[in-house]
Amino acid sequence: MKFSSLLTVSLVYITTVSATPSIGNVFCSNGHQAPSNTCCVWYDVLKDIQDLFQGICGDDAHDALRLAFHDAIGFSPALTRQGQFGGGGADGSIIAFGEVELEDPSNEGLESIVASEKVIADTHGVSYGDMIQFAAAVSVRNCPGGPRIPFLAGRAAAVAAAPEGLVPNPFDSATTIINRVGDAGLTPNDMVDLLASHSIAVQEHIDETIPNRPFDTTPGVFDTNFFLETLLPGKVWPGTHDNKGEVLAPFVEEFRLQSDFALARDSRTSCRWQSFIGQQSLMMQRFGTAMQKMALLGHNANSLVDCSVVVPAPTLPIPGVPILPFGLPVHDLELTCPAAATGGTSFLDGLLGLLGKLF
């Protein structure tokens, strides 16, 4: 890992938060067992995806997770109410109509994973919408600390490209982002929960002079460091300083998105943000739930088949509590969640007590 020297987590084994899905009683021709014949093919897909990911939490796995959000968020009931096509959500349109959707600057950098997943989906005759959400679940499972996300199969093929402009941008304000995801059916809490994904993410194209610069010091570990480190004051430009969507980072080894900075401090999202610091199990559980909700945008769960059992159970160590990098002081943290909004002083006191113990 490029920044392995910065790894600031302690790794401990704890019980995974996800319930174990039922293996079912259908015997597949490929030697596996599943709850439904629909699920059998996904074992073959899994092998190809893990070959692509090389079984690890690397660049392709990061891209697959990003792709899942960019496909699903292409869903706008507001446009539908205006008589326009509002997009099909998690329908695989970003693969099926890649020649259109990949022209959107918000989707820059997804070309390679779209091409790879298209080949695998076509090889096995599965829908692109299913392919994208399955690959995302596998990608998360490959990262230490990543929860086991349920997977439902049976999404129909996309009928058209998603309308332009539905993917939030890093230069959007907190209000713009909250309103956009709200239109799609996700709450501000859901948005924060989904942003746990930035714990295993890097930037590639916002500042092309420093590709793969991560959003936290542990991009190979699904931990709570992201929620902690984004609260440090911004001090440096890690690369060039005139990039749309970037704000000052706390140190040169890290990259900070304007949207992450804003949501970490906005009164509508800061309490949820702060609530994840040092709370690995809570973050895993809420991220998994939000991913399930996102994967169903544009779909009805009752018309899909639960193939969660095909996503392998995580086997990697789960991170412990985060530590502020480089010995930075805890009093530097820009904690904006008002204690009153969280039921008195207990939340903030508890948080500062936790941090005090940690640092």
Q: Which is nearer to Ca ion, 35 or 145 (CB)?
A: 145
Q: Which is nearer to Ca ion, 18 or 218 (CB)?
A: 218
Query: Cβ of residue 129: shortest distance to Ca ion, in angstroms?
Result: 7
Catalytic-role residue among 32, 62, 70, 198: 70
Binding site for Ca ion (CB under 5 A): 71, 74, 91, 93, 162, 199, 216, 218, 221, 223, 225
Q: Which residues contact 82 (CB under 8 A, 6 or more apart)?
A: none
Opening angle at CA 325, ends 321 and 327, nearest 5: 105
Phi, psi torsion values for 318, nearest 5 degrees: -95, 135
* Percentages (nearest 5) of helix, strand, coil residues in the chain: 45, 5, 50
Q: How far is CA 192 from the centre of its chain?
A: 10
What does the buried/exposed string (b/e) look like for 19-56 if buried means 16 or more CB atoms within 10 Å of the residue's CB? eebeebeeebeeebebbbebbbbbbbbbebbbebbeee
Q: Is 70 a catalytic residue?
A: yes
The pair of three-digit structure tokens given for residue 285, joined into one six-digit string: 């559980």
Q: Helix or strand or coil: residue 312?
A: coil
Q: Which is nearer to Ca ion, 218 or 258 (CB)?
A: 218
Q: Which residues contact 292 (CB under 8 A, 6 or more apart)?
A: 149, 150
Q: Which is nearer to Ca ion, 45 or 114 (CB)?
A: 114
How far apart, in whole angstroms, are the C-alpha atoms of residue 352 and residue 228? 12
β-pair partners for 249: 236
Q: Which is nearer to Ca ion, 51 or 164 (CB)?
A: 164
Query: Cβ of residue 278: shortest distance to Ca ion, in angstroms?
Result: 13
Q: Which is nearer to Ca ion, 76 or 243 (CB)?
A: 76
Q: Which of 267, 262, 228, 269 is nearest to 352 (CA)?
A: 228
How far apart, in whole angstroms, are the C-alpha atoms of residue 160 and residue 345? 50
Query: Cβ of residue 177: shortest distance to Ca ion, in angstroms?
Result: 18
Q: Which is nearer to Ca ion, 162 or 192 (CB)?
A: 162
Q: Which of 110, 113, 75, 109 is nearest to 91 (CA)?
A: 75
Query: Cβ of residue 295: shortest distance to Ca ion, in angstroms?
Result: 11
Is 7 within 8 Å of 218 (Cβ atoms)?
yes
Residue numbers annotated as active site: 70
